[in-house]
Amino acid sequence: MSLLDILTQLPAELLLIWHDHRVPILFSAIALAAFVRLTIYARTRRTKVSASPVPGSPIEKKIEIRPEWLPENTTFNASALNIDNHAEDKTGAVAAIVKAKKGPKTVKGRKTPKKAPVAAPSFDHKTDNIQPLVFFQSLSGTTERYATQFAKVLTEWKKGCNQSTSFLEPQLHDISYIEYDDFFISPPKADANTKLFYIILLPTYNIDTVLDNFLENLQETHNDFRIDTAPLRSLLGYSVFGFGDREGWPTEEEGFCSQAREVDRWMARLTGRKRAYPLGMADVKSETEDRLQEWRFGVQEALVELAEGRGLGDGVQGSGDPAESDEEEEEDIEEGNAQSTRVDEIEELGAMVNDSSASPIPVDFTTYKSKSKPLIKSTAAPKEMVPTTSPTHAALTKQGYSIIGSHSGVKICRWTKSALRGRGSCYKYSFYGIASHLCMEATPSLSCSNKCVFCWRHGTNPVGTTWRWITDAPDLIFDGITAAHYKKIKMMKGVPGVRAERFAEAMRIRHCALSLVGEPIFYPHINELLNIMHSNRISTFLVCNAQHPAQLATLVPVTQLYVSIDASNKESLRKIDRPLHRDFWERFTTCLDIIRNRRFEQRTVFRLTLVKGFNMAEEVRGYADLVERALPGFVEVKGVTYCGTSAAGSAGLTMQNVPFYDEVAEFVTELEKELSSRGLTYGIGAEHAHSCCVLLADETRFKRGGKWATRIDFERFFDLYEGKVQGTRMEDGKVVGWRPEDYVGGETPEWALWGNGGFDPRDQRVYRKGKGPKPEEKSSEGVEIELAKNAALEF
């Protein structure tokens, strides 16, 4: 066939092919077109998001708020949510929250089978050793003293007894400074021939303390469907001793040693009933020595029996006594009613809120509590977070705090006093224009869900994962903290050096730093409190610890929103913040995504607290990852301030962990380099060597005409809040709010810029005696760091 013939027949052939295969051809064409279109779309989306914002851009990261992160029985609604106000939001994170709001908490997800039970240990007295672990918890030192003494005596006894070779040196552990996971979810790893024996000494407090947290943890572990109900069954045995006060709590029914009793019961469950010796109890005011000695003899006897291979003995109470089993069954039956009990409790709690709006209180129940009820009924009723009789109250008052209601606090910091005397303000003045004498430092929640190593309050502070306290109304808190603040300012009237004009100015609070101690967004009515502040034209700097995503997502925009970034990775964060939430990393990263999505509404800040030996070395890249994830407007890097308490000491913190300013500066320079190598537009904007603090800022947002503009136009912020001026955050061509750029203030002053130290030359620089710079080393900032080191708790 000639080429001409082929060409002549081609149209007919093509027509034939088309008739035979048109359906697959059509489908292929459509699929190809769709593929090309999708590829183009994906490419445009993948364009790198730089730190420079697109005004009013839609949500970039879909936030998933887990049901267990939601405060229970709350009145959240879509209009109250502020993950972002963009129209595109409807199906995103907002929907996730709204859906999950109703009724008591449910734990979603497939019920995974519990782990196979750990085998009970067999003890071979010829080859095995017993490791006694003595645990204690103490708020005011009594139990610590007795526990230390107990461990010493036990060590002596071990050396002299017949079975000496069977025992290892007893170890002493403060429960406040161990990881529960390491000891009370599963026993610590030991070699095959080492068998563990737990001895626990505890006081009782009928107020909220870390003890509640310990108890909650034991309860959670028992109820956690992912873990064996008796994960500590590999222990050889345990025994508990309680310290109480019969004067205030004469009988067990009235609460004598109630928490030790609870711990004893939970341990029975967790160990599969390995109570080696009955619970001991003593009244600290009369009989402690005798009771403790009596109990120690009993425990030693049990240890000898174990060492001789006689086990815990038959019928010993707690090792399987039927009476106890019955009791437990009864409790399980009662637990069927737990849900309604919990709802009743919440209602009761709601009724106790001294609040004009009768809305239910947001309570963040993140545990599996609905499965069980507390063993001691009296602990269920809401308590005051910091009652006037508590050690926390005493400690806080001693430190100069005024406690407002039962869970809020206010204090005038040393910078406020310094500014009143014309001796300089804190770094917030250099960076943002906040004069310290116009600033109030307060918190509506002295409680927190972390146990940070650098937190001086650790040991006596209320901690918890849920809000379970009597709740004060926001207007009462506002009135209380402002009155207490003014009262403290007035007390400065006669102090030498106070400048009259500054004193007069200080009688009108302009700014509030909501940080101090604790976690402000834990307070269920935080938004109302913030609105009260804004309507009084008081600016708000709010610091949160990135553990409460639901509350962060629903927070009203503040003047400047901070997240504490105490470490750059999960392991390091666990070590330094010692969070109570098991899913702390997921909470943390979700908060970062929320910060990213909300960066067009308000100024967002990362606060890095550098602790040498904990979170500095090798972590620059990790911090850069976090900055890249959240794209905050600012990154404040600050050396830790050492508070010198015994609590800090027990956490292993000493002055050696406080970085020098040079070290902080070097860290910041490295971080800046790392960020810019990733195409992120951050530069070092300002410094305040006095408080060992350096500011990185997004230069596409906070530079004007090539000059840093990190300060805030506060009056404009209030005008935007009051609607007197219109913001420029747009959506679908409409104004939907304001942007941080709408209230950027004047240029950062020359003296505050990087390299210039950050001290306002109009103020008088005062050095501590013998600490001033020597004439030949005027530039040294080391001595000023001393001041910073002594400025514990300044925000």
* Residues 273 to 292 in contact with ligand FMN, rule: CB under 6 A: 284
The residue range among 244-252, 332-340, 400-408, 529-537 that interacts with ligand FMN, by the rule CB under 6 A, is 244-252
- Rounded to the nearest 10 degrees, the angle between the axes of helix 620-630 and helix 661-677 is 60
Beta carbon nearer to ligand SF4, 231 or 520: 520
Residue 518 structure tokens: 């604790």
Among 256, 431, 469, 743, binds ligand FMN (CB under 6 A): 256
Alpha-carbon distance of 385 to 470, in angstroms, equals 7
Q: Does 650 bind ligand FMN (CB under 6 A)?
A: no
Beta carbon nearer to ligand FMN, 207 or 576: 207
Site string for ligand FMN, 389-408 (x = CB under 6 A): xx------------------
Q: Which does 257 bind (CB under 5 to 8 A by kind): ligand FMN, ligand SF4, none?
A: ligand FMN
Which positions lie near ligand SF4, rule CB under 6 A? 448, 450-452, 455, 457, 517-519, 545
Minimum gap (Å) between residue 209 Cβ and ligand FMN: 8
Q: Tokens 């308490």 appear where?
A: 645
Of residues 672, 691, 688, the one with CA closest to residue 680? 672
Among 67, 71, 231, 244, binds ligand FMN (CB under 6 A): 244
Alpha-carbon distance of 88 to 57, in angstroms, equals 10
Of residues 709, 778, 783, the one with CA closest to residue 746? 709
Q: Which does 672 bind (CB under 5 to 8 A by kind): ligand FMN, ligand SF4, none?
A: none
Among 130, 139, 196, 526, binds ligand FMN (CB under 6 A): 139
Alpha-carbon distance of 222 to 373, in angstroms, equals 12
Beta carbon nearer to ligand SF4, 450 or 568: 450
Applying CB under 6 A, the site for ligand FMN has a residue count of 24
Q: Which does 450 bind (CB under 5 to 8 A by kind): ligand FMN, ligand SF4, none?
A: ligand SF4
- Rounded to the nearest 10 degrees, the angle between the axes of helix 526-535 and helix 474-490 is 50
Minimum gap (Å) between residue 564 Cβ and ligand SF4: 6
Amino acid identity, residue 276? A
Minimum gap (Å) between residue 131 Cβ and ligand FMN: 25
Q: Which does 206 bind (CB under 5 to 8 A by kind): ligand FMN, ligand SF4, none?
A: ligand FMN
Minimum gap (Å) between residue 391 Cβ and ligand FMN: 6
Beta carbon nearer to ligand FMN, 73 or 259: 259
Site string for ligand FMN, 142-171 (x = CB under 6 A): xxx---------------------------
Residue 207 structure tokens: 């107020």
Beta carbon nearer to ligand SF4, 213 or 545: 545
Q: Does 206 bind ligand FMN (CB under 6 A)?
A: yes
Alpha-carbon distance of 156 to 298, in angstroms, equals 16
Strands 539-544 and 560-565: parallel
Strands 194-203 and 402-404: unpaired
Q: Which does 428 bind (CB under 5 to 8 A by kind): ligand SF4, ligand FMN, none?
A: none
Q: Does 470 bind ligand FMN (CB under 6 A)?
A: no
The residue range among 57-65, 109-117, 256-264, 319-327 that interacts with ligand FMN, by the rule CB under 6 A, is 256-264
Minimum gap (Å) between residue 288 Cβ and ligand SF4: 32
Beta carbon nearer to ligand FMN, 394 or 783: 394
The residue range among 13-21, 203-211, 233-241, 601-609 that interacts with ligand FMN, by the rule CB under 6 A, is 203-211
Beta carbon nearer to ligand FMN, 390 or 416: 390
Residue closest to ligand SF4 when measured from CB atoms: 455
Q: Which does 518 bind (CB under 5 to 8 A by kind): ligand FMN, ligand SF4, none?
A: ligand SF4
Q: Does 243 bind ligand FMN (CB under 6 A)?
A: yes
Site string for ligand FMN, 84-123 (x = CB under 6 A): ----------------------------------------
Contacts of 699 (CB under 8 A, 6+ apart): 681, 682, 683, 685, 708
The residue length of the chain stands at: 795
Minimum gap (Å) between residue 789 Cβ and ligand FMN: 29
* Residues 361 to 390 in contact with ligand FMN, rule: CB under 6 A: 389-390
Alpha-carbon distance of 706 to 700, in angstroms, equals 10
Q: Encode 473-490 in three state secondary structure.
A: CHHHHHHHHHHHHHHHHH
Minimum gap (Å) between residue 516 Cβ and ligand SF4: 8
Minimum gap (Å) between residue 408 Cβ and ligand SF4: 14
Q: Which does 249 bind (CB under 5 to 8 A by kind): ligand SF4, ligand FMN, none?
A: ligand FMN
Strands 402-404 and 408-411: antiparallel
- Which contacts (CB < 8 Å, 24+ apart) does range 52-55 have? 52/681, 52/698, 52/700, 52/701, 53/599, 53/600, 53/700, 53/701, 53/739, 55/600, 55/728, 55/729, 55/730, 55/739, 55/741
Q: Which does 455 bind (CB under 5 to 8 A by kind): ligand SF4, ligand FMN, none?
A: ligand SF4
| Residue 259 burial (CB count, 10 A) | 25
Beta carbon nearer to ligand FMN, 255 or 758: 255
Main-chain phi, psi angles of 442, to 5 degrees: -150, 165
| Residue 186 burial (CB count, 10 A) | 16
**CB 549, CB 590: distance < 8 Å:** yes
Q: Does 141 bind ligand FMN (CB under 6 A)?
A: yes
**CB 147, CB 153: distance < 8 Å:** no
| Residue 22 burial (CB count, 10 A) | 10
Beta carbon nearer to ligand SF4, 143 or 547: 547
Q: Which does 277 bind (CB under 5 to 8 A by kind): ligand FMN, ligand SF4, none?
A: none
- Rounded to the nearest 10 degrees, the angle between the axes of helix 584-597 and helix 620-630 is 50
Minimum gap (Å) between residue 144 Cβ and ligand FMN: 6
Using CB atoms within 10 A of its CB, is residue 493 exposed (0-12), middle (13-18) or buried (19+)? exposed
Q: Which does 424 bind (CB under 5 to 8 A by kind): ligand FMN, ligand SF4, none?
A: none
Main-chain phi, psi angles of 363, to 5 degrees: -125, 125
Beta carbon nearer to ligand FMN, 255 or 272: 255
Minimum gap (Å) between residue 653 Cβ and ligand SF4: 12
Residue closest to ligand FMN when measured from CB atoms: 244
Q: Which does 207 bind (CB under 5 to 8 A by kind): ligand FMN, ligand SF4, none?
A: ligand FMN
Of residues 677, 684, 715, the one with CA closest to residue 698? 684
Q: What is the dihedral of CA 718, 545, 107, 230, to 10 degrees?
A: -160
Q: Which does 354 bind (CB under 5 to 8 A by kind): ligand FMN, ligand SF4, none?
A: none
Could you give the angle at the alpha carbon of 737 between the alpha carbons of 736 and 738, nearest 5°? 145
Alpha-carbon distance of 33 to 676, in angstroms, equals 39
Distances in Å between the alpha carbon of 51 and those of 39, 452, 699, 702? 25, 30, 9, 11
What's the start-to-end Cα distance of the chain, in Å?
Answer: 92
Q: Does 138 bind ligand FMN (CB under 6 A)?
A: yes
By the criterion CB under 6 A, which residues form the site for ligand FMN?
Answer: 138-144, 203-207, 243-245, 248-249, 255-258, 284, 389-390
